Amino acid sequence: MIILDQISRYFDPFALSIVVGGTLLTTAARSTVADLGRAWRSLGLLFTADPEADARAARVSVNRIRELAEIRNVSCADRVETAQRFLVRAARALSDARNSLEFSRWASDEIESRRSRDRATIDVWRGMADTAPAMGMIGTIIGLIQMFAAMDDPARVGPAMAIAMLTTLYGITLSAAIAGPIAGRLERLSAAKLDWQAAALKQFELIARAEFDTVPIKQKPVLRNVV
């Protein structure tokens, strides 16, 4: 009971609504619905994403596609089975490409699009980390105003001061212990993911160049002596 009583002192619904509610409303106001949805879904990646394992699996799939392209041609690239949706998409683009330049343009646009989406998702969490302390300061000011307004009633001074302190605590905690670390981890995961995806697309570009840009060496005619 003593422990529960101590913990309950750090919980105040009003202070929590000021910081968490204000942070969420501010973040929603400056983000798109798509960005907010990706930010929410990104929480699952914090525990499931493994870029190193994905990179190893991608190298195996790329080697299989290269071998198949050498035996047949790039139009068969999408026949290699892989569990990675990115490689499935890239292999389909490779098999449908009419020349190496077309695939190179697709690869560049794809990586840039993925980088832009990841950056927008990370910015949602960065924005929360930046906003939370400001919401905590707003709550602190509200608590101080209530405290000064109740100076003639000592029983009301304590709760008002508690709101002022708790909102500061909630703002710092939300920023430094939740949103900030999430943004930092997502940033590292994104960088590692884009590294292996860019490397895979680079190998696909080499396969496309070998298929479309290699000019066969014409056999020189044999000169014979005319009798």
Each residue's pLDDT tens digit, 150-192: 888 888 888 899 999 999 999 999 999 999 999 999 999 999 9
Task: Check pLDDT > 50 for residue 115.
Answer: yes
Distances, alpha carbon 210 to alpha carbons 27, 74, 99, 181, 215, in Å:
48, 10, 10, 44, 9
Question: What's the average model confidence in pLDDT over 86-104?
Answer: 93
**137-146, 147-156, 194-203, range with the lowest pLDDT:** 147-156
Mean residue pLDDT across the chain: 90
Where do the structural domains in the chain lie, given as residue ranges? 13-25+34-40+50-209
Half-sphere exposure of 69 (CA within 13 A, CB side): 24
Long-range contact list for 141-146, CB < 8 A, 24+ apart? 142/18, 142/167, 143/15, 143/167
